[in-house]
Amino acid sequence: MTETLHNGWTLRFRPNVHMYCHELTATRGDHELQVSCEDMPSGGVGIWPYSLEFDTATYADLLVALRSWAADLDADYRLYVSRDEFETN
């Protein structure tokens, strides 16, 4: 497990907790969020924070942290900012 700080969020990542699924937890203040994260059939890591339910400002702030964290991965990634939109490296 790795733990890093990005944009005020502590991100804990434990790879392959079940086959191709990873555990990604984002914590800041009273928020502790489980972010969906798994290997994708096309290769790389998929990250799906858009299904988390909280205010727009907090979501935007979390996206900044996830972008920074994903950029540090030693893998391709897709960060799904909405159901049909993703960012990648």
Render pLDDT for 5-31 as a digit per residue (tens, 0 to 9).
999 999 999 999 999 999 999 999 999
Distance (Å, whole) CA 6 – CA 35: 15
Find out whether 10 and 29 touch, Cβ atoms under 8 Å.
no
pLDDT at 11: 99
pLDDT band, residue 74 (cuts 50/70/90): confident
Query: Residue 36 pLDDT more than 90?
Result: yes
Per-residue pLDDT at 54 exceeds 90: no
19 SS3 class: coil
Cα Rg, the chain, nearest whole Å: 12
Given a cut of 90, is residue 88 above it in pLDDT?
A: yes
At 37 the pLDDT is: 97
Query: Could you give the CA distance from residue 89 to residue 87 in angstroms, rounded to a whole number?
Result: 7
**What are the domain boundaries of the chain?**
2-88
Assess whether pLDDT exceeds 90 at residue 67: yes
